[in-house]
Amino acid sequence: MTDTGITLRDANASFRAARYTEALALYDILAREQPRNFWLRLNAVMACLRAKLPAEAARRLEAIDRSPQIGDDVLSSTRAVVQQRLRDAGSVPRLYGPTDYLQWQRTSRRLAPLRRLRANKSFPSGYPFELELPALHGNGNDYRFIVDVVNRSRATGRKSTAKILVVVFASAQDDVDHALALLASQSFAHEQVEVLFVAVNQPEWPATEHAFHSSWLPYDRGQPVAQINQAIAGRNADLVVFLPPGVDHNPWLLEQLSHYHDVTDLAVFAFHTVDAASSDALILDRFDAGASLNWRGERYGFRKVGAGNLVVSAARLRRVQGFAAELFSLETAFRELGYRLYLDGAYFMPAPAECHITAASRKAWVAHWLTSTPTERFEDYCAGHWWRKQDGRYPVPKVSVYIPSYNNSAYIVQSVQSVLDQDFQDFEVCICDDGSTDDTLMRLQQHFGHEPRVRVLAGANGGIGAASNRAVAMARGMYIGQLDSDDLLKPEALGRMAAFLDDNPVVGCAYASCERIDAQGHHVKPEYSFPVFSREKMMMTSIAHHFRMFRRQSWARTEGFREDIVNAVDYDMFLKLAEITTFHHIDEVLYQRRWHGNNTSLVNEGAQSANTLVVLNKSLKRQGLQEFWAATAPNPNQPRKITYRRHQPTTRVFFWPDYSAANPYQCLLYSRLDERFDVLSGDLQCALKAITDQPAVGPVVFHLHWTNTFFKPGDGAERVKEAIAAFEAQLAAFKQRGGHVVWTIHNAVSHDNNQHAELERDFMCRLAIAADRIHMHSAGSFAELNLDLSAASGKVFVVPHGSYAGHYPDYVTRADARRHLGFDDRDFVLLFTGQVRPYKGLERLLEAFAAEAEGKPWHLLVAGKASADFAAHLATLVPPAIQDHVTILNGFVDDHALQLLYRSADLAVFPYERILTSGSALLSMSFGVAPILPRVAMVEELLEGGRCGLIFDPQDTTDLRRVLAEAYTAHLHGELASMNKAARQRAESLAWQGVDNLLCFTA
């Protein structure tokens, strides 16, 4: 039996009774009290599997997979079971932190923007040039990686099973009616929604009849926040939505929020409040008001949280222990809760619906909820420098210094005193005694028992990792400083580091330099100090020297300290931080490291060296690089001298130019390549460097895409010629060294600039001769290039453009989409979407549409980004008689909003004159919307002669009008449904296959 009275028999009984969530909680309690018993943690893994939480099982297994207590055989077999359950569950990931995103990039086969190399970047000695680390994701409040995963995962049509508790602060009957009307309009399953109305005293107005399970909570101003905690805790909810008055009637609000909950509880939402009289959001923005707002640069995202406007997962709310029960002001209580969620690693995002507040409703809100409460200073609870202007002692400190300690009574008092002697006051000391058998605890009590800034937690021995995790978990500070129990801080250490982090919001970890002292505290020498932080150097050796201070927010986004290894625990931790946030070295000596002969790193030096390789290979795994690379120490006499090797000969593909950040084409093109191919964004200079530095590793392929980068608007002919000549010289050198060149021809000539058309055609002819392979998306397109490429005809490889099926969110119904955009069932809706540019034939489309649409229920929807001049020009082409039939939405179409356009459309129209391929057409077909396209070879193949769409003759200026009329007739006779179904089936058959054959070469 443990201190809590829980026994292993209790936990096992819950497991056998199929109460897996209860069993998991009991195993966790037992594991905290018996940190050396890793079998308890393995039991928790099995409980996760039985509870159908494979992602959680995988995360927990990863934390114990170096445990010698369990053994490799059991760990390997358990890992196999977990991986199978993950495959069975599908590709929807679970994000616990930013590095989960990096691993998902490989396993999901839907990649984020790929690693980008620069040939002129310097690397530490022994570090491979090609081991470019992925860009940081999720630093600060940058939530883009969460949005990306949610968008991709909602393409499956899978319905959320989340249970949602909606909390409504009601001041009057109107607040109740508005909330119920909003909830009644939701596409989300009503039976999964519970409503809690909170009102000052028992309301006198009658309750409205509604279909939701609901209850009332009389709001007692004597204990306002504590009662809300109690009311929420007693309900079975996965997601808690505090619904302020005036929220837009977005019918997808709860569905969109549940999509985020299904992927992660890292996302916390706040409703953006606007003046009810001044809202001018575009129709697509109103679908997801959050998409048009950018809170990614918010330094303190919790500033967006106000009274009653928060959305948070119930699990995360429990994790931070709900509202601070001692607070009275609802505004302060919500903001303070937001601050603790911020410390817990949450990202603050705008909710997908705006909150419109009139002057009258704002006055009523203040009168009912924000007055008659004691004055509370937010700066007492929040250490952010915008609120806490002066140093001093506060109820909640800015800095927490954590000290893990084991049998170190000789030095622990001096260590703690060095913190108390700081010239900075806003701190606490958090000590975790790891089951010491000497008089450490007695000495701490004797010297600091009456010092409120020193907090001590004693527990069973679990090792340095477990003690560090427990110590940091105690910490309340915004910044966390690390002090070993035998070391000392210089008096200015805390103030200097905290001030730097205050002034540099993008830095998640700052570290200083240190000096060595002997057992008596005398200076010995300066410790090793690397001057400027480098992620690559950090992958060779730990350069994050003492004294280290990191943001609690950043630490909470990692897996914490490993508890299943003896040494290299700190190195592992700071590698994790370096994968998700920015580091900075303050080159000042702020720390004294005591060298007394019994230091852990010295006593266990063999384990330290072995575990260095372990934690580096774990870092590669977290960054999605373990398929290609492994850390190694080739010289047994120098076990700390690290280098990296590839697992096997690899085809290294350098693609250029890189448009993967804005266009998913390149990511999807390479997404099905296996570990035989390492795909990197890099120019020809990078490819040349790779084949020069490591020619024997495997083939090097330079994959050229668009050539428009050589023909920039405004460049004179001589400058263009110089750029081409330099490129061709590099290309010749690359081929001479054995490199291979693949060229994908996307366009006959660059779309946006015909100023140098002849130069570009000549260049393309020479490029066709130099290339080893020419990639076309269609077999017939090569003949349509109108270039003398007869010498290159044998080099052509046809790999069709794949579809985007399953890549974009797709859960909105046709009826809901049309209702949102203002169309009804009988309307015939034509859609043009994509970049709105002159070469795309919109003038022709508007002319044909104007000739046919008058007097008919036709609508043309044009959505995409256009220049101001071209947008104005398009508006002049719409005759007055049909202006109500044409909607031009000029602006970037968010991935999430694409489904609105395609779900509302009967057909998509792409009135190009000449194309070799069309991503827009594939996107349309992926949504099951047949396109209208010009008659060219690619179109004939893609649409299978007209089964999957309609084709017009681009040489006949009147033929597009004929096709539009034909389409309308098909619409009237109900014949478009079969064509749209065929379009979707055709898209699903194009699965980005054959790229491996295109890029496969022998060395």
691 has pLDDT over 60: yes
Give 41's pLDDT tier (boundaries 50, 70, 90). Answer: very high
Q: Which residue has the tokens 């809706």?
A: 829
Interaxial angle between packed helices 98-107 and 144-153, expressed in degrees from 0 to 180 and rounded to the nearest 10: 40
Q: pLDDT tens digits for 974-986?
A: 999 999 999 999 9
Return mean pLDDT, the chain. 89
pLDDT score, position 340: 97
| Peptide bond between residue 145 and the one before it cis (omega within 30 degrees of 0) | no
734 has pLDDT over 60: yes
Lowest-pLDDT range of 357-361, 511-515, 811-815: 357-361
Token duo for residue 88: 């069975």
Q: What is the length of the chain?
A: 1003
Q: What is the mean pLDDT of residues 262-283?
A: 79
618 CB neighbour count, 10 Å cutoff? 22
639 has pLDDT over 50: yes
State the burial class of residue 983 (Cβ atoms within 10 Å of its Cβ: 0-12, 13-18, 19+): buried
Whole-number Å distance between alpha carbons of 761 and 177: 66
pLDDT score, position 375: 72
DSSP 546: S
Lowest-pLDDT range of 168-177, 365-374, 876-885, 893-902: 365-374
Whole-number Å distance between alpha carbons of 245 and 243: 7
Q: Output b/e per residue, 230-262; b: 16+ Cβ within 10 A.
A: eebeeeebbbbbbbbbbbbebbbbbbbbbbbbb
53 has pLDDT over 80: yes
pLDDT score, position 276: 62
Please give the full DSSP string across 446-478, using - where no structure is assigned: HHHTT-TTEEEEEE----HHHHHHHHHHH---S
Please give the full DSSP string across 475-493, using - where no structure is assigned: ---SEEEE--TT-EE-TTH
156 has pLDDT over 70: no
Whole-number Å distance between alpha carbons of 914 and 936: 7
Which H or E run includes 934?
A: strand 931-934
One-letter amino acid of 435: G
pLDDT score, position 337: 96
pLDDT score, position 278: 55
Whole-number Å distance between alpha carbons of 766 and 542: 49
Q: Is the separation of the CB atoms in 556 and 345 below 8 Å?
A: yes
Contacts of 195 (CB under 8 A, 6+ apart): 165, 166, 168, 179, 180, 183, 210, 212, 213, 214, 215
pLDDT score, position 214: 87
110 has pLDDT over 50: no
Q: pLDDT tens digits for 948-964?
A: 999 999 999 899 999 99
Q: pLDDT tens digits for 300-309?
A: 999 999 888 9
Whole-number Å distance between alpha carbons of 672 and 670: 6
Whole-number Å distance between alpha carbons of 520 and 962: 95
Whole-number Å distance between alpha carbons of 726 and 706: 17
What's the predicted TM-score (pTM) here? 0.93
Please tell me which residue, 709 or 540, carries the higher pLDDT value: 540
Which H or E run includes 164?
A: strand 164-170
Q: Whose CA is closest to 265, among 213, 311, 329? A: 311
Q: Which residue has the tokens 């909607």?
A: 887
Give 758's pLDDT tier (boundaries 50, 70, 90). Answer: confident
DSSP 885: G
Give 881's pLDDT tier (boundaries 50, 70, 90). Answer: confident
Q: What is the mean pLDDT of residues 764-787?
A: 88
Token duo for residue 679: 């795909």
Q: Output b/e per residue, 340-359; b: 16+ Cβ within 10 A.
A: bbbbbbbbbbbbbbbbbbee
Q: pLDDT tens digits for 560-587?
A: 999 999 889 999 999 999 999 999 999 9
Q: Which residue has the tokens 């000029």?
A: 890
pLDDT score, position 115: 87
Give 1's pLDDT tier (boundaries 50, 70, 90). Answer: very low
pLDDT score, position 222: 67
pLDDT score, position 106: 55
Whole-number Å distance between alpha carbons of 605 and 262: 44
Q: pLDDT tens digits for 5-31?
A: 788 999 999 999 999 989 999 999 999
pLDDT score, position 393: 95
C-alpha triplet 624, 629, 633: angle, nearest 5°: 130
Q: pLDDT tens digits for 849-858?
A: 999 988 899 9
Q: pLDDT tens digits for 317-351?
A: 999 999 998 888 888 899 999 999 999 999 999 99
The helix/strand/coil state of 776 is strand
pLDDT score, position 273: 83
Q: pLDDT tens digits for 444-499?
A: 999 999 999 999 999 899 999 999 999 999 999 999 999 999 999 999 999 999 99
Lowest-pLDDT range of 248-262, 364-378, 790-804, 903-917: 364-378
Q: Whose CA is closest to 802, among 150, 110, 87? A: 110
State the burial class of residue 264 (Cβ atoms within 10 Å of its Cβ: 0-12, 13-18, 19+): buried
Please tell me which residue, 842 or 456, carries the higher pLDDT value: 456
Whole-number Å distance between alpha carbons of 18 and 41: 18
pLDDT score, position 174: 83
Backbone Cα Rg of the chain = 31
